[in-house]
Amino acid sequence: MKELQPYYLKYKNFILPTVFIMLSFFILFRVIMPQITSIASANQDIESKSTDVQTLQSSLSALSNADESAINDDLDTVVKALPVSKNITQIFEALSSAAGASSVDLKEYSLKVGGIYGRAEKVAQTSVKGVPSVDVEVKVGGASPRQIVDFTKQIQQRLPLSEVTQINSNGNNASLIISFFYKPLDLTLVSRQDNVTGVNQNDQTVINQLKDWDK
Amino acid sequence: MKEDINLVIKTNTDKKIKDKVFLGTLVVFLILFALGAIVLIYSITLTSKASALANNANDLRSKISSYSDQKTKLLTISERLVTIRKIINTRKKIDEEVSGIVSYVPDNLAIDSIYADDTKVTMGFTSPQLSDFDTLLESKIPLMTKDKSLNISRVAIGSFSQKSTGYLVLIDFIFRTAPVRK
């Protein structure tokens, strides 16, 4: 120890400054800099959680203020307009009703129903991309061209929603290709969502139009 | 007399420098210490705020779960309405195209046939008198092309034939493709 004593005496005034410098570096690199990163991520976290809370609050408010019978009524209408599966009975009802309203004779119709089980190879092509449809070939008779035009109008103003993709009329007979839309419902995807908005004015306008078309 | 003699003792100068170094490092340390303490307290405050928000969100989620049936129904309505709007806005309007043309057809002409798809409408007109087509070809078709609601880009006579009952003219009406609304 004695041999270290001269060094101690010589450098003893630098011991504390060295300790201070080392502690300063420690605080800078082990406390301040990590905390700055942590503050940035905490701020982001707070921002996203605040948005979540706001969304959840508005969802809760929409749910607690919702009229259950109106919801059921609206749900019936939208599901009738866009069924979750290929609903042949509904399609037939719409065709019969449109034929009656336009005074045409519904002679025959054939549906390309497609798959019953398993993944579909190809979705039928309509002008509305991404929405599957069932193509129905309808033959009508005893009708003037004007009545056939009226029939196409009538069928497009009925539920389920459809699109007339081809009209081929000759004399009093006509053949039409009509695509009836449907869309499977992914309940797991729906239940994962938190953002529930009530039916707003624009939605209600569309629903009211659909109700008018529900003949 | 020597002018460059330093009267201050060397040990005194050294002591002053050492004091300055000591004070300097102490000040730096204290500043960083205070800064570290502030940053740490701020960070802890933010973390606790985030944690409180997470608890609040969980509370709200548990309250919402009691309305799960209504939630599913409302979300289904929204999901259906998005697609329904898309269908209503983008589906082809063959009926409007055909009825638009039919509205211009003079009463003395009979519509014999209609073929319509997404690109064109072909209409066959018959009449026992050839002159009956004049109104259609000379005044009605120019009016149709000027009617912006019809959106006709081209009109062409597909064929002209004579039958035992009269004359038959097939006319093609080609429409401008409307941009698909997303």
**Which pLDDT tens digit goes with each residue over B65-105?**
888 888 889 999 999 999 999 999 888 888 888 888 888 88
What pLDDT sits at residue A187? 79
CB-based contact B18 A74, cutoff 8 Å: no
Of B42, B79, B95, the CB nearest to A164: B95
DSSP characters over A157-195: TSSS-EEEEEEEEETTEEEEEEEEE-----HHHHHH---
CB-based contact B50 A49, cutoff 8 Å: yes
Of B43, B64, B90, the CB nearest to A128: B90
CB-based contact A27 B92, cutoff 8 Å: no
Residues of A in contact with B88 (CB under 8 A): 161, 206
Of A21, A149, A181, the CB nearest to B87: A181
CB-based contact B98 A207, cutoff 8 Å: no
Q: Which residue of A has its CA nearest to B68?
A: A191
How confident is the model over B116-133, as a mean pLDDT?
86
Checking if the pLDDT of A150 tops 70, the result is yes
For A38, residues 6+ apart whose C-beta sits below 8 A from its C-beta are B43, B47
What pLDDT sits at residue B176? 79
Answer with the residue of higher pLDDT: A3 or A59: A59
Checking if the pLDDT of B177 tops 80, the result is no
What pLDDT sits at residue A155? 92
What pLDDT sits at residue A103? 87
Nearest to B170 by CA among B155, B154, B157, B179: B157
Residues of A in contact with B97 (CB under 8 A): none
Of B43, B64, B90, the CB nearest to A38: B43
Mean pLDDT, rounded, of chain B: 85
Checking if the pLDDT of B107 tops 70, the result is yes
Task: Tell me the H-state helices in chain A.
Answer: 5-26, 33-65, 68-81, 88-101, 145-156, 187-192, 201-213
Residues of A in contact with B118 (CB under 8 A): 127, 165
Using CA atoms, how far residue A123 sits from A105, A166, B70, in Å, is 30, 18, 31
Q: Which two tokens stand for residue B67?
A: 């309305």
CA distance, residue B42 to nearest chain A CA (Å): 8
Of A17, A24, A42, the CB nearest to B32: A24
Residues of B in contact with A43 (CB under 8 A): 46
Q: Judge contact between B174 and B120, C-beta under 8 A.
A: yes
Q: What is the pLDDT of residues A159-212, one digit of tens each?
A: 899 999 899 988 788 899 999 999 988 878 777 788 888 888 899 999 999 999
Q: Lowest-pLDDT range, A104-108, A190-194, B6-10, B163-167?
A: B6-10
Give me the half-sphere count of Cα atoms (radius 13 Å) on the Cβ side of residue A196.
29
What pLDDT sits at residue B25? 92
Checking if the pLDDT of B113 tops 70, the result is yes
What pLDDT sits at residue B56? 94
A134 close to B (CB below 8 A): no
Percent of chain B with pLDDT over 70: 91
Label residue A87 by pLDDT band (50, 70, 90).
confident
The complex's ipTM works out to 0.78
CB-based contact B39 A35, cutoff 8 Å: yes
Sheet holding B152-162, edge to edge: A105-112, A133-141, A173-181, A162-170, B110-116, B120-127, B167-175, B152-162
What pLDDT sits at residue A44? 94
Task: Tell me the H-state helices in B66-117.
Answer: 68-90, 94-104
Checking if the pLDDT of A121 tops 60, the result is no
A35, burial (CB in 10 Å: exposed 0-12, middle 13-18, buried 19+): buried
Q: Judge contact between B82 and A203, C-beta under 8 A.
A: no
Give me the half-sphere count of Cα atoms (radius 13 Å) on the Cβ side of residue B59.
9
Mean pLDDT, rounded, of chain A: 86
Percent of chain B with pLDDT over 90: 30
What pLDDT sits at residue A120? 54
Answer with the residue of higher pLDDT: B52 or A118: B52
Q: Which two tokens stand for residue B57?
A: 């969100």
Checking if the pLDDT of A75 tops 90, the result is yes
CB-based contact A79 B76, cutoff 8 Å: yes
Q: Judge contact between A194 and B64, C-beta under 8 A.
A: yes
**d(Cα B154, Cα A168) in Å, to the nearest integer?**
20
Q: Lowest-pLDDT range, A64-68, A117-121, B108-112?
A: A117-121
Residues of B in contact with A16 (CB under 8 A): 22, 25-26
What pLDDT sits at residue B7? 57
Q: Which residue of B has its CA nearest to A158?
A: B88
CB-based contact A206 B84, cutoff 8 Å: yes
**d(Cα A39, Cα A114) in Å, to the nearest integer?**
57
CB-based contact A24 B73, cutoff 8 Å: no
**d(Cα A182, Cα B29) in Å, to the nearest integer?**
71
What pLDDT sits at residue A200? 86
Of A59, A161, A199, the CB nearest to B84: A161
Percent of chain A with pLDDT over 70: 92
**d(Cα A90, Cα B11) in Å, to the nearest integer?**
107
Checking if the pLDDT of B14 tops 80, the result is no
Q: Lowest-pLDDT range, A6-20, A152-166, B34-48?
A: A6-20
CB-based contact B113 A170, cutoff 8 Å: yes
How confident is the model over A142-169, as a mean pLDDT?
87
CA distance, residue A133 to nearest chain B CA (Å): 11
Label residue B182 by pLDDT band (50, 70, 90).
very low
DSSP A2: T
Q: Which two tokens stand for residue B8?
A: 């201050």
The residue among B49, B69, B92 with the most chain A CBs within 10 A of its CB, best to mutate, is: B92
What pLDDT sits at residue B181? 42
Using CA atoms, how far residue B31 sits from A21, A24, B19, B24, in Å, is 12, 9, 18, 11
Q: Judge contact between B150 and B104, C-beta under 8 A.
A: no
Label residue B179 by pLDDT band (50, 70, 90).
very low
Amino acid at B120: K
Percent of chain A with pLDDT over 90: 44
Of A60, A153, A161, the CB nearest to B60: A60
Answer with the residue of higher pLDDT: A215 or A35: A35
